[in-house]
Amino acid sequence: MGFLKNLFGFMSKDLAIDLGTANTLVLVKGKGIVINEPSVVAVKVNKSGQEEILAVGQEAKEMIGKTPGTIKAIRPMKDGVIADFNTTEMMIEYFIKKINGGKKLASPRIVICVPYGLTQVERKAVKESALNAGARSVYLIEEPMAAAIGAGLPVREPNGNLVVDIGGGTTEIGVISLGGLVISKSIRVAGDKLDAAIVDYIKKKHNLLIGDRVAENLKIEIGTAIKLDEPLKTVVKGRDQVEGILTSVEITSEDIREAISDPLYQIAEALKSVLEQTPPDLAGDIVENGIVLTGGGALIRGIDKYLSEAVKLAVIPAEEPLLAVAKGTGAALEQIDLLHQTTFED
Ligand code: ADP
Ligand code: MG
């Protein structure tokens, strides 16, 4: 902890942190996004049973599924809850150290965007780890709000806007008007569940065992929410479940569409339930404005069409959806008045 305090003591720039379940982004005021790495920590258990950090971020993500028994790759925020407070803190510390680059800076103000589903205890823990680290003040902003600001929506106007952020661990849906979240919902169905559904499907249909990372790559390479006019194909390697031998199988975009149809349906249902709860005047605005998609899940082929067909409203992916929340958190940092309206102190 003392180390963290010192670290912040050397900084003067205010920071915005998007503490995502899959990716953490850090934006330095006046500089833009300086860190964009997976929220993964690799730890090694030493002989006396203590955990030592081996790697954080991209390097640690590359270790997932490839670690020997003594090494663990941890995603401390995986399901939108803090599974491991210590690791979360170590991860924040690591990313801040990376920015510092040895320069002398004064204690910063920090805005941190957290998944909407975090409990009060978890929010407090995030806040305290930043305060302990020497931040002058810490504001938390909720993900749907940051996503909406980052997507360029006019959140302060008396006009309803609906944003759906599909991340790694959670999908967060929010209706925003007059600078506040009117209705919101967080479900633990997002990119990770799609990956898991692909693993299951390929096991059942092709008797092939693949890992989560391979599944994620399939999702990105050939995944689709809707039928494509020209199906995509790729060859995937894995272990044959029956024979036990290593083999390769051709997988099509139709396979992936079928595989992910159930979790996508759950996302559509959550969106419908938010729309059902939206007061009529705001619902009218949303009919006019359409629905904006952010988060990595906004990049799934045809997800806009898929959701649009499900709710019969226009659905528009944000530009650079993976950066929307970080940009929105950075915008909150720029504008103190907005900050006070959209953040809360526990
Ligand atoms: P979080 O905010 O929870 O950290 P992100 O918004 O960073 O999540 O999104 C991460 C998720 O987006 C991962 O599940 C990742 O697989 C998925 N993703 C990233 N790029 C794509 C893509 N091109 N197509 C489909 N999914 C993607
Ligand atoms: Mg996010």
Q: Which residue has the tokens 């390479």?
A: 221
Burial of 9 (0-12, 13-18, 19+ CB in 10 A): middle
pTM over 0.75: yes
Q: Are 241 and 275 in contact (CB under 8 A)?
A: no
Given a cut of 90, whether residue 293 has pLDDT beyond it is yes
- Residue with CA closest to ligand 1 atom 8: 167
Indicate which ligand has the atom closest to the C-alpha of 221. Answer: 1
pLDDT band at 10 (very low <50, low <70, confident <90, very high): very low
Is the CB–ligand 1 distance for residue 21 below 6 Å? yes
Least confident of 9-23, 53-67, 123-137, 330-344: 330-344
> Interhelix angle for 143-150 vs 324-334, to 10°?
90
Show which of 58, 74, 90 is a domain's final residue.
74
Both 211 and 128 in one domain: the answer is: no
Under a CB-based contact definition with an 8 Å cutoff, are residues 107 and 11 in contact? yes
pLDDT for the residue numbered 222: 98
Atom of ligand 1 minimally distant from the CA of 22: 4
pLDDT tens digits, one per residue of 85-105: 888 888 887 887 787 664 434
The Cα 216–Cα 38 span in angstroms is 13
Residue with the bigger pLDDT between 343 and 89: it is: 89
Question: Do 27 and 113 reside in the same domain of the chain?
Answer: yes
User: Which atom in ligand 1 lies closest to the alpha carbon of residue 190?
Assistant: 14
Which pLDDT belongs to residue 210? 96
* Whether pLDDT at 184 is above 80: yes
**Can you give the pLDDT at residue 12?**
52
Task: Return the amino acid letter for 153.
Answer: L
Give yes or no: residues 126 and 233 share one domain.
Answer: no
Q: Are residues 285 and 207 in the same domain?
A: yes
Q: What is the mean pLDDT of the chain?
A: 89
Q: Give me ligand 1 centre to Cα 46, in Å.
A: 33
* Residue 196 in contact with ligand 1 by CB distance below 6 A: no
Q: Which residues surround the ion ligand 2 when the cut-off is CB under 5 Å?
A: 20, 167, 325
Q: Which of 59, 74, 89 is the last residue of a domain?
A: 74
Claim to verify: residue 138 and residue 196 sit in the same structural domain: no
Percent of the chain with pLDDT over 90: 65
Separation of CA 91 and ligand 2 centre (Å) = 16
Tell me the residue range of the domain where 8 lies. Answer: 1-38+79-151+320-346
C-beta of 24 in contact with ligand 1 (< 6 A): no
> Number of structural domains, the chain?
3
| Whether 64 and 158 share a structural domain | no
Residue 342: pLDDT above 80?
no
From ligand 2's centre to the CA of 21, what distance in Å? 7
Residue 78 has pLDDT above 50, yes or no: yes
Same domain as 324, residue 296 = no
Q: Is residue 328 classed as helix, strand or coil in its secondary structure? A: helix
pLDDT at 4 over 80: no
Kindly state whether residues 227 and 133 are assigned to the same domain: no
Q: Domain check: are 33 and 97 in the same one?
A: yes
d(CA 150, ligand 2 centre) in Å: 11
Tokens for 151, please give them. 């997507």
What CATH number did the domain enclosing 30 receive? 3.30.420.40
- Ligand 1 contact via 328 beta carbon (within 6 Å): no
Question: Of all atoms in ligand 1, which is nearest to the CA of residue 219?
Answer: 25
Same domain, 200 and 297: yes
pLDDT of amino acid 101? 62
Say if residue 262 is exposed, middle or buried (CB neighbours under 10 Å; 0-12, 13-18, 19+).
Answer: middle
**Spatial separation of the C-alpha atoms in residues 298 and 177, rounded to whole Å:** 22
Q: How far is the CA of 191 from the centre of ligand 1 (A)?
A: 6
pLDDT in the model for residue 341: 40
Claim to verify: residue 173 and residue 288 sit in the same structural domain: yes
Regarding whether 181 and 64 lie in a shared domain, the answer is no
Residue with structure tokens 């800076």?
A: 105
Q: What is the pLDDT of residues 231-287, one digit of tens each?
A: 999 999 999 988 889 999 999 999 999 999 999 999 999 999 999 999 999 999 999
Q: Ligand 1 within 6 A of 80 CB? A: no
Q: What does each C-alpha distance from 221 to 96, 200, 206, 235, 301 come to in angstroms?
A: 32, 18, 19, 11, 10
Among 74, 96, 131, the domain boundary falls at: 74
